């Protein structure tokens, strides 16, 4: 390689990869989906039909089925592209949809800026604006958390041994540790502390760092004399790993993790990652989860209405989409935004939280080549007095080259969370010339490793990397291997040559379970913002366990600190405020019942005195906007809402008032007015009397069908019951009454006694 084209750089910090981060290299385009796989969902109550046999004959096979969403992962034959398979399935009328298995990336940006460490929770103005925070100190006076609330972190894993997290890691109540048995029959053996969906084992160890940082924001143990405090001092963090150290994860693995979280009782599911491809399968999995799903809006600085990021941009009642704000309550420079697709803002710049501690197994600055065996031209080259490894020490690489440099064999016995890091810079003449990283446990069969770079994960490195970059490869699949070989392999075609690549600062590290209390770092991104919202949601659920996920979402949205500079960036125009959300969970228990076809009665009880009164709000079931229908005094605890439409569902809530300000929200409650019944003509004879309203059989059936699964007001139920009894009585009175003889025999066989009607 020509030294005049290279400037040696220094890597000063671990680099986190992020969707939409500024590219530092012109890299070749990469596929946004997994080759050789598609996701398919059949229409409801439809099984694969006659065409399934044709597809099987062509080598298509289902390799994974997701029970909750009904989606199937299908493996393709080697001669079929993803586009061809999608077209084939979409031509089948029994198929609801078919799509690629998209890849996703974490939503975090690298940052090593020094700032007040917990400004997001309590901002004293040291680095930012005073009170540009979540008022966590005030919220903690009301509630600090509970391990009964489960927050699933679907991410790169979590360091369950971190001293500031270990006490808050979720434990599967139905699983016996290390017995090799799937005790609860959920398909996952020994999933005591979550699952690794990337490698298919019960060790969701964080080789990236992102998931542990997110987990610390949500639930680092508080008041323990060390490190930091999460939003929840006590909580159950469920570690679910689906993204590797190379910042690589697939739709199928994300779906599996979300379904696992929902099936195992997660109250909140945190998704601090995203991508630009719309997956209906992923949306179905989110919609099927009975949990609040908090999503990072993304870090590309884009308007989500123009450049959407998924899952944050899905139109789903389950999702709370979060943009990032800074320490002055302005939108973070990198955050995606939208006044319709981003719901709230939360702190996301310079966030200090937990990261996994790591120890070094092997490192090489290439001062010599004693640890390497080379094939072909590979060797060392001196760049400004520093030795580096390269495939072409003498200058440009050759055409039609296939050569490698192999590291001496290492043992990973007893190791968890192994990872390869190295620095790389250089260029190739075209996409056909590429650098790959491979691993082998026997020195014969080599497996290609995905490599994480600034602009995303790749199976191979090609194109121009103009400044030194950190490259990361995940080795966790080889944890415990008695023998592991790693090699760099350079392949070129005959289209031309270039300088090639330089490699430096190589290290193989693993999780350090004997870490101290200093495993913390600053990150920034909407990932961090989403984590603050997840923690806040968990606190609310502790204080008011009866709230539904939708009600918790509404509470967070309705209690933001509104800021003019956030108007237009998020739908609520504000940054979350944990304290306001907590005090807004007023001790008001609201009930509703339909009393007539045009009337619903409300009543409520309160746990604490109210200063100014109660504001009663109503919205139709088909809409989302509340309107105020009445304000009543502090000594009034019921209200009659009249003039309503029959057969209509209305939703209510009551707000507590103090000095004209809204200080709390009750639970939401719904009631349905009964359908108005028809008028029957007056009867004569039988039961006698005048005219009466009679529900026809069709009307009664329609009423009960409409009311199935809903809370029917007591008054409405009694009304229908009276009508039914009245009709039955009227029918009886219309029938002839027969008085039977006494059946007394006089010995002649002739019955005696009255026989008339």
Domains of the chain and any CATH numbers:
3-21+358-511 (2.60.120.260), 33-103 (3.30.70.80), 109-357+518-579 (3.40.50.200), 586-672 (2.60.40.10), 682-757 (no CATH)
User: Distance between CA atoms of 462 and 491, rounded to whole angstroms?
Assistant: 10
User: Distance between CA atoms of 460 and 246, rounded to whole angstroms?
Assistant: 12
Of all helices (H) and strands (E), which one includes residue 714?
helix 714-734
End-to-end C-alpha distance for the chain, whole angstroms: 118
560: closest CA among 531, 581, 536? 581
Beta strand 520-524 pairing with 351-354: antiparallel
User: Distance between CA atoms of 597 and 716, rounded to whole angstroms?
Assistant: 8
Of all helices (H) and strands (E), which one includes residue 55?
helix 51-57
User: Distance between CA atoms of 271 and 530, rounded to whole angstroms?
Assistant: 8
Q: Is the peptide bond before 419 cis (omega within 30 degrees of 0)?
A: no
Give the alpha-carbon dihedral of 121, 126, 127, 129, to 10 degrees. Answer: 70
User: Distance between CA atoms of 266 and 291, rounded to whole angstroms?
Assistant: 7
CA distances to 322, 636, 660, 732 from 584, in Å:
20, 20, 15, 57
User: Residue 48: its pLDDT value, please?
Assistant: 64
Cα 311–chain centre separation: 8
Cα 629–chain centre separation: 36
Which residues lie closer than 8 Å to 255 by C-beta, 6 or more apart? 66, 69, 71, 281, 282, 285
DSSP letters for 543-607: H-TT--HHHHHHHHHHT-EE-GGGBTTBTT-EE--HHHHHHTB-SEEEEEEEEETTEEEEEEEES
Tokens linked to 755: 């026989």
Q: How many alpha carbons lie under 13 Å from residue 75 in its C-beta half-sphere?
A: 7
Angle at 418 between CA 376 and CA 460, to 5 degrees: 40
Cβ–Cβ under 8 Å, residues 232 and 87:
no
Lay out the sheet containing 292-296: strands in order across.
Answer: 195-196, 234-241, 145-155, 268-271, 292-296, 319-325, 344-347, 574-575, 561-562
Task: Encode pLDDT of 154-203 as tens digits.
Answer: 999 999 999 999 999 999 999 999 999 999 999 999 999 999 999 999 99
Cβ–Cβ under 8 Å, residues 704 and 662:
no
354: closest CA among 567, 638, 133, 159? 159
Q: Which residues pair with 616 in a beta bridge?
A: 630, 654
Angle at 150 between CA 147 and CA 154, to 5 degrees: 135
User: Distance between CA atoms of 21 and 469, rounded to whole angstroms?
Assistant: 14
H helices present in 439-569, as ranges: 526-543, 549-558
Q: Which residues are catalytic?
A: 155, 210, 527
CA distances to 163, 433, 671 from 710, in Å:
47, 64, 8
Cβ–Cβ under 8 Å, residues 706 and 675:
yes
Cβ–Cβ under 8 Å, residues 38 and 85:
yes
User: Residue 118: its pLDDT value, please?
Assistant: 80
100: closest CA among 315, 351, 317, 275? 275
Q: What is the DSSP letter of 102?
A: E
User: Distance between CA atoms of 705 and 277, rounded to whole angstroms?
Assistant: 40
Confidence (pTM): 0.72
Lay out the sheet containing 372-374: strands in order across.
Answer: 372-374, 402-407, 485-491, 434-440, 447-449
22: closest CA among 250, 234, 355, 334? 334
User: Residue 193: its pLDDT value, please?
Assistant: 96
Which residues lie closer than 8 Å to 139 by C-beta, 6 or more apart? 536, 539, 578, 579, 581, 582
Cβ–Cβ under 8 Å, residues 201 and 115:
no
Which residues of the chain carry a pLDDT beneath 70? 1-31, 45-54, 57, 106-116, 515-518, 586-587, 622-624, 660, 678-757
């Amino acid at each position: 390689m020509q030294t005049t084209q290279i400037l040696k750089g220094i890597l000063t910090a671990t680099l986190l990869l992020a969707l939409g981060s500024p590219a530092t290299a012109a890299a070749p385009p990469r596929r946004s989906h997994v080759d050789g796989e598609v996701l398919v969902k059949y229409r409801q109550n439809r099984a694969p039909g006659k065409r399934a046999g044709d597809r099987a004959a062509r080598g298509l096979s289902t390799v994974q089925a997701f029970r909750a969403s009904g989606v199937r992962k299908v493996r393709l034959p080697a001669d079929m592209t993803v586009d061809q398979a999608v077209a084939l399935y979409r031509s089948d009328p029994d198929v609801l949809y078919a799509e690629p298995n998209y890849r996703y990336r974490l939503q975090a940006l690298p940052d090593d800026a020094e700032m007040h460490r917990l400004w997001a929770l309590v901002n004293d103005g040291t680095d930012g604006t005073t009170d540009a925070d979540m008022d966590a100190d005030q919220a903690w006076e009301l509630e600090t958390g509970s391990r009964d609330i489960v927050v699933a972190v679907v991410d790169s894993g979590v360091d369950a041994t971190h001293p500031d997290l270990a006490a808050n890691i979720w434990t599967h109540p139905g699983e016996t540790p290390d017995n090799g048995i799937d005790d609860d029959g959920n398909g996952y053996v020994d999933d005591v502390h979550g699952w690794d969906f990337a490698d298919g084992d019960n060790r969701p160890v964080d080789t990236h760092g992102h998931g542990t940082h997110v987990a610390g924001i949500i639930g680092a143990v508080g008041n323990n004399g060390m490190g930091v405090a999460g939003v929840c001092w006590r909580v159950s963090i469920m570690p679910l790993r689906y993204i590797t150290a190379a910042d690589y994860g697939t739709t199928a693995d994300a779906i599996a993790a979300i379904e696992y979280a929902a099936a195992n009782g997660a109250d909140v599911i945190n998704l601090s990652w995203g991508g630009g491809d719309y997956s209906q399968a992923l949306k179905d999995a989110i919609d099927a989860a009975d949990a609040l799903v908090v999503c990072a809006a993304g870090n590309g600085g884009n308007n989500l209405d123009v450049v959407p990021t998924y899952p944050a941009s899905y139109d789903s009642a389950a999702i709370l989409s979060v943009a990032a704000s800074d320490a002055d309550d302005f939108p973070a420079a990198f955050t995606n935004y939208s006044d319709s697709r981003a719901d709230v803002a939360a702190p996301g710049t310079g966030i200090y939280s937990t990261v996994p501690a790591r120890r070094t197994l092997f490192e090489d600055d290439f001062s010599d080549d004693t640890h390497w065996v080379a094939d072909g031209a590979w060797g060392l080259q001196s760049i400004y007095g520093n030795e580096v490894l390269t495939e072409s020490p003498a200058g440009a690489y050759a055409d039609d080259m296939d050569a490698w440099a192999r590291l001496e064999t290492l043992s990973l016995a007893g190791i968890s969370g192994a990872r390869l890091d190295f620095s790389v810079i250089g260029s190739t003449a075209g996409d056909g010339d590429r650098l790959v990283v491979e691993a082998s446990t026997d020195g014969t069969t080599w497996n290609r490793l995905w490599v994480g770079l600034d602009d995303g994960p790749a199976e191979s490195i090609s194109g121009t990397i103009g400044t030194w970059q950190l490259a990361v490869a995940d080795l966790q699949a080889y944890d415990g291997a008695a023998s592991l070989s790693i090699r760099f392999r350079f392949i070129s075609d005959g289209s031309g040559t270039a300088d090639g690549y330089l490699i430096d600062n190589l290290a193989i590290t693993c999780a350090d379970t004997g870490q101290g209390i200093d495993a913390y770092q600053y990150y920034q991104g909407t990932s961090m913002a989403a984590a603050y919202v997840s923690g806040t949601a968990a606190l609310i659920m502790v204080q008011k366990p009866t709230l539904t996920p939708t009600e918790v979402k509404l509470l967070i949205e309705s209690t933001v600190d509104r800021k003019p500079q956030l108007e237009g960036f998020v739908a609520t125009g504000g940054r979350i405020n944990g304290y306001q959300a907590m005090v807004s969970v007023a001790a008001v228990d609201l009930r509703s019942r339909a009393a007539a076809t045009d009337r619903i009665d409300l009543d409520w009880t309160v746990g604490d005195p109210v200063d100014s009164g109660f504001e009663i709000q109503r919205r139709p079931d088909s809409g989302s906007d509340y309107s105020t229908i009445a304000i009543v005094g502090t000594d009034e605890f019921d209200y009659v809402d009249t003039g309503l439409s029959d057969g209509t569902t209305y939703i209510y809530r009551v707000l507590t008032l103090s000095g004209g300000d809204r200080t709390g929200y009750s639970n939401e409650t719904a009631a349905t007015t009964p359908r108005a019944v028809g008028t029957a003509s007056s009867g004569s004879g039988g039961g006698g009397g005048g005219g009466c309203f009679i529900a026809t059989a069709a009307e009664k059936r329609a009423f009960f069908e409409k009311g199935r699964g809903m809370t029917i007001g007591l008054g409405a139920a009694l009304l229908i019951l009276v009508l039914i009894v009245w009709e039955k009585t009227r029918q009886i009175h219309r029938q002839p009454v027969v008085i039977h003889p006494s059946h007394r025999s006089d010995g002649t066989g002739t019955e005696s006694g009255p026989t008339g009607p």
